[in-house]
Amino acid sequence: MAYATGADYTAYTGQTAPDDIERRLERASERVDELLFASIYPTDDAGMPTRPEDADAMKRATCAQAAWTIAVGDEFGVAAAFKSVSIGSVRLDRGGSGDGPPARYAPDASSILQRAGLLPGYILDGSVW
């Protein structure tokens, strides 16, 4: 059960959605659900938000999460676990000390949910301080 559709993704990003966008939005919705753990907001029997402003924030956060995973090319957070990744002629080196866990959440997704008042606190994701 995704919080956004392929049309939502296109409207949010201004880019044509990839062929597998529905699957990516499902995955992004799972990440949004993780961010919303312990949040309190009204839902219907299917668990979907009933307030339009909550539904809109979750839709935008889902699109942001999907766009971020597409942009970094690491939908499952696997490549980020390695200091260096090479695919064909592309080589990526992760900056920093590498001691922290790989990022799991799009910064924009958590920001959208925070500004909407849906997060009970702050999301700390990424490198150890």
Q: Is the pLDDT of residue 1 over 90?
A: no
Q: Is the pLDDT of residue 73 over 90?
A: no
Q: In whole angstroms, give the CA distance from residue 121 to residue 114.
A: 8
Q: Are residues 11 and 67 in contact, defined by beta-carbon separation less than 8 angstroms?
A: no
The predicted pLDDT at position 18 comes to: 95
Report the run of H or E that residue 91 belongs to, with start and end: strand 90-93
Q: Is the pLDDT of residue 116 over 90?
A: yes
Q: Which two tokens stand for residue 100?
A: 């922290």
Q: Is the pLDDT of residue 53 over 60?
A: yes
Q: Is the pLDDT of residue 10 over 80?
A: yes
Q: Are residues 82 and 94 in contact, defined by beta-carbon separation less than 8 angstroms?
A: yes
The predicted pLDDT at position 38 comes to: 86
Domain boundaries along the sequence of the chain: 6-115
| HSE, side-chain direction, 13 A CA sphere, residue 14 | 0
Closest CA to 69 of 96, 97, 29: 29
Q: The whole model's pTM is what?
A: 0.78
Q: What is the mean pLDDT of the chain?
A: 85
Residue 92: exposed, middle, or buried by beta-carbon count in 10 A (0-12, 13-18, 19+)? middle
